[in-house]
Amino acid sequence: MTAQPNSVEARDISYHMHSYTNARRHEEIGPLVIEKGDGIYVEDASGKRYIEAMAGLWSVAVGFSEQRLVDAATRQMKQLPFYHNFTHKSHAPVIDLAEKLVSIAPVPMSKVFFTNSGSEANDTAMKMIWYRSNALGQPQKKKIISRKRGYHGVTIASASLTGLPNNHISFDLPIANVIHTGTPHHYRDAQPGESEEAFATRLADELEQLILAEGPDTIAAFIGEPVMGAGGVVVPPATYWEKIQAVLAKYDILLVADEVICGFGRTGSMFGCETFGIRPDILVMSKQLSSSYLPISALLINDRVYQPLADESNRIGTFGHGYTAGGHPVPAAVALENLRIIEENDLVGNAKRVGAHMQKRLRELADHELVGEVRGVGLIAGVELVADKATRAPWKNAGALGLLVNGHLQENGVISRNMGDTLGFCPPLIITESQVDDMVAAVKKALDASLPEVKG
C-alpha cells in the first residue's frame, strides 16, 4: 500500500518504530491500523472486519469488548488509581489477586511476585534463582537450561533464555550462564522411524548428558513452556515432561514453567502444567491473566524457592528488586474480574470443547499440498507449511511460504501470525464452533490462493 500524506498510516511510518517488524519494509508498506474490537473480531481503519485468530498476541481470553473489565478498571481508577508494594506497602486488589492465584495454582505455591510483562517475569525468575543459590551457599550453581526455539521474552536476561536466532543476532546474546538443549518437535527433529516416546527418551538423555558435561553442581534451573508458542506451537511428545522432570529431580534442579501463553485455559485446563503433568517450582504467567486489557504478570514460587529468598533478604536487609507498576491496583482489579469471567462462563471448558473442534477442523487441512503438519491442543494450534510434503522442504527460503499464505489469510479476513513457515492459531477462549468453521474456511482459501505461485 502507499500511505496517503498525513494519513494515520503515514504518521505511523513517520514516528513509530514497531516491535518484531522489518523497519525498512514497514517504511514501504505501512501498518494495518486496528480501530475497534468486538468479541473475537477486530476492525481496521477502513471498516474491514477480521477474525483475530491470535487473540492479539496469544492473550485476549475474554474477547475484545468485555464491559466488565472496562468497569473494573474504572472503579479502581476512581478509588485508588495507583499504589505500590515496596517497603511493606500494599492494597486490596493485589492482596486479593495473590490469594486467588495461589488458590488456583496447579501445584502448592507459597507466594506471588508481580511484574508487568512475561519478559520481566522471566527476568525476575532468573534473578531469584541466582539470589537463591547465593543464599544457599552455592555461588557456582547459576546456569539455567532453556530450549532451542523456546520463547521467554526480550529483556537481556529473558531474551537469552529465548532460543530463537532473531532474538540473539546483533544483540550480543545470549549472556553467560544460559545454555540450550533440544526442541521437543517430533515432526522436525525425530530420527527416521523414532516413536514419540523414544524421541522423548532421547531428549531426556541428551539433557542429562548436558547436565553432566556442564557439572550438575553448576545447574540451577530448567525453564520451558508447556506448549512452545512463538517457536511454532510445538506440542511435546508423549512422556516428554515426565522424563524431563525425572532428570531434573535426579540432580536437584529447579523447574520453571513459563505459562505466559498456556495459562488460564488455553490448553483446555486452567494451566498447561495440568495438561502435561508438570510440577514447577516457579510458574510464570501474564497475557490471559488480564486478557491483556492492562499489563500485568506474575511469578508463583513454592516454599523451596521462597524460604531461601526470605532468609537472604533478612541477612542483607531487603530483597532489592521490584517495579514501580508491579502489582499496580488497576491491572490487578482487571485481572481479578477477568478470572471471574473465565470461571463463571466456563471458558476453560469452552477451550476444551471448541478446541477439540478446532483441532479436528484444522487437521482436515493436512492433506493440502502445502501443509506439512497440523499440531496443537485446546485452543492453540500450528499449521506448518512446506513446499514439498515428502522432503518437508521450504519454498524459496525459510519463512517465505508462511509470509505468503498469511498475507492471503489476512486478505480473507483472518489475522494469524506466521512464525517462520508455521501459521499460529490462538483465538479468544469465547470462540464458537461456527466461528472456528469460518476461520478454517478462510485458511483453506488462503492455501488455495498460494498454491499456483508456489507450484508454478
Cα angle, residue 162 at apex, residues 184 and 322 outer, rounded to 5°: 130
CB atoms within 10 A of CB 81: 11
Q: Where in the chain is the domain with CATH 3.40.640.10?
A: 69-344
Determine the pLDDT at residue 1: 54
Which residues 6+ apart lie within 8 Å of 91 measured at CB?
Answer: 80, 83, 85, 329
Q: Where in the chain is the domain with CATH 3.90.1150.10?
A: 32-62+346-455
**Does domain 69-344 bear CATH number 3.40.190.10?**
no
Q: Side by side, which strands form the sheet with 178-181?
A: 111-115, 297-301, 282-285, 254-258, 219-224, 143-147, 178-181
HSE toward the beta carbon, residue 309, CA cutoff 13 A: 21
Cell numbers at residue 50, please?
477480521
Determine the pLDDT at residue 2: 65
Which CATH number is 32-62+346-455's, of 3.40.50.10860, 3.90.1150.10, 3.10.450.50, 3.30.2230.10?
3.90.1150.10
**pLDDT, averaged in runs of 10, over the chain (456 residues):** 82 97 96 98 97 98 98 98 98 98 98 98 98 98 98 98 97 98 98 97 98 98 98 98 98 98 98 98 98 98 98 98 98 98 98 98 98 98 97 94 98 97 98 98 98 91
For residues 383 and 443, the answer to whether their CB atoms sit within 8 Å is: yes
